[in-house]
Amino acid sequence: MQNAITTLQDGPGPRTGSLAGVSAGIARGVCRYLAAAGYGCLLETPLRSGRRADVMAIGPQGEIVIVEIKSGPQDFRTDRKWPDYREFCDRFYFAVDQAFPVALIPEEVGLLIADRYGAAELRASARHPLPGARRKAVSLGFARLAALRLQATLDPQAPHGLL
């Protein structure tokens, strides 16, 4: 929760050389891109599998997108968990910065190139529609988490045990 807030509130410039900083900038740009397309976005969204999605977004028709951010080749190569995320979304993307060697990214997933200010879709994701019950559970969890985080931001003195 705290991390998710910190990432978007990150300072005015890039923190070069810091993997956390690169990821934070990409996350901000990805969220701006998705918001402009009508998606509501949440960072670090917990999934029932126990993992967290870097960015989860829900679109005007209820489409659920997960974007995993890769700060560099090493970050990608050490990630064995990304195929699991496809069980929780209709479309799955990686997001990387311009310096990333995009040939590393498997062809069957979507690809966004991002910086701190926005993103562009280099390759669309295949659509693998969620089963109805899973979609409902993911959407509901998203709705409550977004509202609880908003409330925690606006009313920080309130007791919050639910995030």
Return residues touching its own copies (CB under 8 A): 5, 8-9, 28, 31-32, 35-36, 38-42, 57-60, 62, 136, 139-140, 142-151, 153-155, 158-162
Smaller CB distance to its own copies: residue 47 or 146?
Answer: 146
CB of 80 to its own copies, least distance (A): 29
CB of 41 to its own copies, least distance (A): 6
Of 31, 13, 21, 12, residue with least CA distance to 95 = 31
CA atoms of 160 and 53, how far apart (whole Å): 22
Outline where DSSP puts E strands in 16-138.
40-46, 52-58, 64-69, 91-96, 110-115, 118-123
Smaller CB distance to its own copies: residue 103 or 158?
Answer: 158
Q: Burial level of 151, CB count in 10 A (0-12/13-18/19+)?
A: middle
CB of 148 to its own copies, least distance (A): 5
Q: How far is CA 93 from CA 51, 89, 102, 156, 160, in A?
A: 16, 10, 12, 33, 32
CB of 141 to its own copies, least distance (A): 9
Smaller CB distance to its own copies: residue 124 or 140?
Answer: 140
CA atoms of 40 and 59, how far apart (whole Å): 7
Smaller CB distance to its own copies: residue 36 or 102?
Answer: 36
CB of 77 to its own copies, least distance (A): 30
Smaller CB distance to its own copies: residue 104 or 150?
Answer: 150
The total of other beta-carbon atoms located within 10 Å of residue 82's CB is: 16
